[in-house]
Structure 1
């Protein structure tokens, strides 16, 4: 289709300026997007009658202090396109460094319509104009690599995410009204947007009870549920539990830069027991701990005793005892240590009457989509899928470890946020002696991650090898995976198997007598790592038989 030109016209945000535009063809009965701002604050909206909408805003105390009106027009605009562009502007401007505060809330609505890709290209054109007009600072690719963008509560939600929010709000409104307990267990595989949805709910509920939430744009069902929640509960105390220290630190840093959220809202399971919460939202609930292979048993036992639990008490029990309502985000296939609460404990929740089971299916991370994720799972669970090709997703096998490392460094220079990770198939000797290397393959030596928290964003991470615990919960543009000698292939039995003798995660092995259990940790870790890359995944395989087997499923990299 022919492409018309998108335009941004700037005016003073005054009643005189608005009235002077009454004869402008785009200002009445035409869908437009607009940006209202002063030096520090910005509001983004869309409307089919700009004159009426601007007059309304000028009469409103929450927006009439803004100084500038930016009207975005295009002859090709229609309602679906302007709604989509509005949500994109909110999403990107909230992560850009130009404005201090985004006044908007977020309804979370997704936008599916004919020629959506065409308007996505128009957004890139629009963003360039906004940069020239000093309404934005950073490039789109820079913003996409930021944690503030990846973990933003301003993202458009997928259909199943939005449906999950709808169900939770309506059910929670009725449960709180009648003071009935409820646990919401939201299950989804890696990349289905569990963390994004968790943060969205934290922001939504926090804004609601702080009287910051605008109900504009919400469907009538959500409006009624939110009003009921507010009317029946003057205030509900909401906590956000993130069990993994690395991801917790990252999200705390993100919360510092989001209006209405604070770093201290992101807490440990232990911190959750020290206050009485109405709602606890738990991300990565599969990483909640039980009393096994812990670093310190004393504090764990003391918390159990304080809560009236015996030694079998788990962090999941702590969450249940410390809140009236629980929203748990869970994936049983991402349990990678015996310290993690057993799946049987979550089954007990599923079997209770005061529980609601919800599911996320849409793949949000990997461009290869659900097909790629299922392909990886089928290969490594010995389901022997038919070989597939992924035109839009860059996945390939390397015969030379050094060439793969150089390739991922090259991708990192081009795109940023590209890292190398590996299974725990080498001992961590550099932890005690920094002069030593941990991993040696074909005369090339490397070290494990030198920091445990927020390793992905650490200064030297591109020159290190991350383990599973550094990247669980994170997105990468490209992920290079080293498959060590802890995973192999038996050509006689025609199956992938694990070798615990070459598995060096001491906390995953200590006290575990079941080879099947250890194997599940190894396989789960590799599947998790192989689904981190948004744009592509590189593989180097140490075991010769496994390398030859995987060559039937993935193309071999050709060094150009």
Structure 2
């Protein structure tokens, strides 16, 4: 395959001189060939692709947000077609956003993970392009370090799967239609199994709403961008000044999302709240998105006396009584005009979570009102869409045989020490590899006075539960601990070593799996 080239030009040149330089130095690549480009200064960067670099740069020079950028890099290869350039543009946007060194000036208008002929071979050159740009100072971190970061994994510039793209379009249509013509409340249910990217879709929506709010009449829409139709003056006016919140029930994931939002232009204005936070807020919200809504809590099962008091006070403040039937979902509905709930009825974890029956009722009600959206494609597990249904069938005793999971790595261990050694080796090679388990062993090491105690003692291996609750996966020493479900739900791992406790059993008489 012919080698790529990166041509560097001073973007501060006046329009006529810049056009002359590009036309002369790029030749046919400057006016009639698909190319990818970056325009940057010390703090900001814009990434784009175009068939006519000369004309496109004139458009950027007329844009107040980009006209003072200083360095243009044009990336081209005689074998790069339009599909390759769109993929490379998406690749660079995600990496720049994921590293977080620059403020990315791109709007969120729709990056979709599309396949094309010989993609794997072109992708090999993408890594070489990254290394070249790193040598020129556009990146500092190593590629794997960026791809393993929270900012990359939760970036609003993720490439969407086709059904995530459909879901984003449907959610945006519902929100904007409701703002335009329906003054009544909106309750939209978005259902997805584990690993389908519900959190990514929620963040994507929030970034797009922020981008529409700050869009300008001088913006130059590109016809093949998926969500350009939402960037209208009418939507900008309707969204201007609205109060938007994201509620994240899980403490560990919430703090990670807050960190991502602080480093993403436009998202720093979005309030990331606990369920208690929205109930106790002095604000009323025009729109609230709730991630992992099935983890919202009930009145009767709070884990601490102080939380029981806060729950009671919130109920009294919002409803004038402390009815045991009231839940954190009721708080959110009372404080918000329009609500988008991301749910999985079968991912409840604690006794205090909303009952599965309640979440299923929400789903059925939304279907009847035609306010229901489902995300199906599996993106977290390399085994693909067949994996989660197979595991569910396996646990129900309904699986006849294992489907073909392609290159997915699956290994069974009968010795805990061997598995822990493998996980540590994978962490050295790829990062983000952790041991996790269901709560089948007591938490002896809980609290500062008990940190020396052992929690899991099997096969001569002594281990402790996660030493911290917040952002355990990224905490020092986590590779030598065991994470509970509360610390890993919503996170991505490269490799997971699952310790199966004595709470999961099999009846030898009929092979049925049951929980004890």
TM-score, with length taken from structure 2: 0.92
Match of 2:178 among 151, 156, 175: 175
1:354 to 1:239, Cα distance in 2 relative to 1, 3 A:
farther
Q: Give the match for residue 545 of structure 1.
A: none
CA distance in 2: counterparts of 1:220 and 1:48, whole angstroms = 15
2:300–2:324 CA contact under 8 A, matched in 1: no
Residue 229 (structure 1) aligned with residue 229 (structure 2): no
1:359 to 1:455, Cα distance in 2 relative to 1, 3 A:
same
CA distance in 1: counterparts of 2:432 and 2:483, whole angstroms = 13
CA distance in 2: counterparts of 1:366 and 1:163, whole angstroms = 21
1:263 to 1:17, Cα distance in 2 relative to 1, 3 A:
closer
1:163 to 1:484, Cα distance in 2 relative to 1, 3 A:
same
Q: Give the match for residue 35 of structure 2.
A: 32
Deviation at 1:347, TM superposition (A): 4.0
Residue 342 (structure 1) aligned with residue 355 (structure 2): yes
Deviation at 1:356, TM superposition (A): 0.7
2:465–2:481 CA contact under 8 A, matched in 1: yes
1:240–1:265 CA contact under 8 A, matched in 2: yes
Runs of 4+ more than 3 Å apart: 210-215, 217-226, 231-234, 346-350, 352-355, 387-391
1:218 to 1:258, Cα distance in 2 relative to 1, 3 A:
farther
Report the secondary structure of 1:113's partner residue: coil
Structure 2 unaligned blocks of 5 or more: none
Match of 1:206 among 189, 195, 210: 210
Structure 1 unaligned blocks of 5 or more: 500-560
Residue 315 (structure 1) aligned with residue 328 (structure 2): yes
Deviation at 1:83, TM superposition (A): 1.3
Report the secondary structure of 1:324's partner residue: strand
Q: Give the match for residue 10 of structure 1.
A: 8
CA distance in 2: counterparts of 1:338 and 1:319, whole angstroms = 20
CA distance in 2: counterparts of 1:151 and 1:212, whole angstroms = 26
CA distance in 2: counterparts of 1:458 and 1:367, whole angstroms = 25
Deviation at 1:230, TM superposition (A): 2.5
1:368–1:393 CA contact under 8 A, matched in 2: yes
CA distance in 2: counterparts of 1:133 and 1:190, whole angstroms = 39
Deviation at 1:124, TM superposition (A): 1.0
Q: Give the match for residue 253 of structure 1.
A: 259
Residue 62 (structure 1) aligned with residue 73 (structure 2): no
2:345–2:359 CA contact under 8 A, matched in 1: no
1:181–1:354 CA contact under 8 A, matched in 2: no
CA distance in 1: counterparts of 2:441 and 2:475, whole angstroms = 22
CA distance in 1: counterparts of 2:446 and 2:270, whole angstroms = 30
Residues 443-458 of structure 1: matches in 2 within 5 Å?
443-458=460-475
Report the secondary structure of 2:6's partner residue: strand
CA distance in 2: counterparts of 1:203 and 1:305, whole angstroms = 34
1:9–1:72 CA contact under 8 A, matched in 2: yes
TM-score, with length taken from structure 1: 0.85
Cα shift readout 1:61-116 (whole Å, capped 9, x = no counterpart): 1111011110100111111211111111111011225x431111121231332222
Report the secondary structure of 1:476's partner residue: coil
Residue 143 (structure 1) aligned with residue 146 (structure 2): yes
User: Which moved further from structure 2: 18-27 or 326-335?
Assistant: 18-27
Deviation at 1:278, TM superposition (A): 0.6
1:252–1:264 CA contact under 8 A, matched in 2: no
Report the secondary structure of 2:410's partner residue: strand
Report the secondary structure of 1:292's partner residue: helix
CA distance in 2: counterparts of 1:208 and 1:35, whole angstroms = 22
Residue 269 (structure 1) aligned with residue 275 (structure 2): yes
Residues 505-516 of structure 1: matches in 2 within 5 Å?
none
Length, aligned pairs only: 496
**RMSD over equivalenced CA pairs, Å:** 2.0
Q: Give the match for residue 78 of structure 1.
A: 81
Q: Give the match for residue 498 of structure 1.
A: 515
Residue 351 (structure 1) aligned with residue 351 (structure 2): no
Report the secondary structure of 1:251's partner residue: helix
CA distance in 2: counterparts of 1:6 and 1:326, whole angstroms = 47
1:403 to 1:348, Cα distance in 2 relative to 1, 3 A:
closer
1:36 to 1:427, Cα distance in 2 relative to 1, 3 A:
same
Q: Give the match for residue 484 of structure 1.
A: 501
